Structure formats: structure tokens, C-alpha cells
Amino acid sequence: MTGTKKIIVAIVGLPGAGKTTAAEYLSKQKKIPVVTFGDVVNKYIDQHKLPHTREIHTKTWKKLRKDYGMEAFARLNVENIKKGLSKNAMVIIDGMRSWEEYLYLKRKFSKESLYIIAIFTDKRKRYKRSAKRTYRAKLYGPERDIDELFGTNMGPTITMADYAIENNGAKEEFYRKLDTIFAKLNNNS
């Protein structure tokens, strides 16, 4: 990093677009810490020994948003983000959803730069990728997309992205696109 301003990069996209693949690549190749917003739901479900079904996931995120507001996952991950920034000049957020989460992070981390990268993938490819997951394999489809876009208010977050990546090709091509964006972010910091 050439500058001193810390950077938070939120990766957004519909299920199966490649958010986790991007986060894992950046963590491994660039040594950037990752905060996965969806872990809040997964941990809650695992702690309560519930099955990972679309209904249980939806019920859980709705409960968390009712309890903490539409910015719930940002609010519940503030300490994880601070911890990452204390060790590194950049932190990746895997799976920010709502516009309210973005606005909350902008307020909470007003001294840091916050960027959104939206990942777009054809619907059929997303569903095919999601079906191959070993964890949460059944959590995809048109109903889940609608829940994500409207139930979590993800639509504005995607449309207001600073960068967009189309992810329909090979992983190597996807990684090159990520590298290009991160070179720009490092030059802007």
C-alpha cells in the first residue's frame, strides 16, 4: 500500500456469484484478512443444531435484522473488522448484503475508505455452482435471489458498487480481474 488510509472492501453478489471464491483468493494470495458476514447466520444455526435449509436461513437472518436492524451483520461484525484492520491495511468483507449495512460501515469507519465490488454471474451458472457446495448446498434458486435482493435490500448495494466483475469464465480469468481491481485500490489508498 502506498498510502496510509486503511481500506475496507465489501464483496457483494447473489448466491453462487463467487464472493467466497474471491475472498479466499484474496486472503491466500494477498494476505488480506476476511470477515464473512454470513458466518453470523451459520454459527447461530449450528449452535442451535438446526438444519441449513432456506427456510431456517431466512428465518434466522430475519430475526437478526429484527433484533439489530437492517444493518445487523455490519453491527455484529464491527469488532472482527477492527481486529482485521489492526493487523492489516485492508480488510475484505465477504457477503455484505443491505444498503443499510453499507451506510452503517461508512459511519462507523469514517476514517477508512470503503469500496464495494459486485460480482455478477449468469443465473444458471450460479445455481449450478451452489448445488455443488458441500455446506449449504440447497440454499439457492429464484426464491433465495428474491429474498437476497428485496428482503435484505441488496439491490442498492449491488447497483452502487465501485467495481463490477463478470464471473462466467475460468477461475484464472476471475483472479486476473480481482488482481486488476486490487492494484487500483492499492494505488488509490
pLDDT digits (tens, 9 = 90+) for 118-161: 999 888 888 776 666 555 545 566 677 777 777 778 889 999 99
- Evaluate whether the domain defined by 7-188 bears CATH number 3.40.50.300: yes
The number of beta carbons lying within 10 Å of the beta carbon of residue 187 is 10
**Helix, strand, or coil (residue 115):** strand
- In this prediction, residues 32-42 reach a mean pLDDT of 91
pLDDT digits (tens, 9 = 90+) for 65-118: 899 999 999 999 999 999 999 999 999 999 898 999 999 999 999 999 999 999
Q: Write down how long the chain is.
A: 189
31 or 52: whose pLDDT is higher? 31
d(CA 42, CA 37): 9
Residue 117 φ then ψ, to 5°: -115, 120
Percent of the chain clearing pLDDT 90 (strictly above)? 60
Q: Please, are residues 8 and 113 in contact by the beta-carbon 8 Å criterion?
A: yes
- In this prediction, residues 1-20 reach a mean pLDDT of 84
d(CA 8, CA 24): 16
* Residue 148 C-beta-side C-alpha neighbours within 13 Å: 20
Mean pLDDT of the chain: 87
pLDDT score for 16: 83
Q: How many helices and strands (H and E) does the chain possess? A: 10, 5
d(CA 99, CA 105): 10
CA Rg, the chain, in Å? 16
d(CA 134, CA 127): 14
Burial class (CB in 10 A: 0-12, 13-18, 19+), 40: buried
